Amino acid sequence: MTDDHGVRTAADTVRIERLLPGPIERLWAYLTESDKRAQWMAAGDMALSPGGPVELVFRHQDFAAVDDPVPEKYRSASGEHRLRGRITACEPPHVLAYTWDAHSEVRFELHPRGGQVLLEITHTRLPDVDEVLSVSAGWHAHLAILRARLEGRSLTEGFWALHTRLEAEYAARLMG
């Protein structure tokens, strides 16, 4: 992997990969345990069996100790923002998939690579180009936060500043 940017594999699908510090069980915990997931993406309970409920509680302002205003188009996601879904696949510690607020689906696949883990995220059934761009930038930003946490570092850039920059990059890359 020479480029950290995700790729559009279909009109409604984005895939992004990261090679992250392992072991695989540690990364699985950061995907499935609310307290660990809250450190990089969203808190919330999930019942780890097919059909089980998923709740994601986003608090983007908690990721960095910098003043980071929410862009106008994402005002509805300021403060605390919740999404709900259902588990569609769970094969610990290799596969986790769930619906994302009922209209799309995200799938995480973990592959051991020595002392590291290749994490593949595929987000499908995205309804339009705006959602493709938002999700691409969002996963990229959240994975930057995850890497920082796994490496014991703090994020120096606020989530929304990072997301805004990445969304512009993805617009140039994916929409040409």
d(CA 163, CA 63): 12
The domain that holds 100 is classified in CATH as 3.30.530.20
Is 151 a domain residue?
yes
Is 2 a domain residue?
no
What are the angstrom distances between the C-alpha of 165 and each of 13, 17, 89, 113, 157? 21, 19, 32, 30, 11
Is 1 a domain residue?
no
d(CA 167, CA 137): 5
Mean pLDDT by 10 residues, the chain (176 residues): 81 97 97 97 97 95 79 86 96 97 94 96 96 96 95 88 94 81
**Total of domains in the chain:** 1
Is 140 a domain residue?
yes
Which ranges in the chain belong to alpha helices (H)?
A: 24-32, 34-37, 129-150, 159-174
d(CA 66, CA 84): 28
The pTM of this model reads 0.94
Is 35 a domain residue?
yes
Is 17 a domain residue?
yes
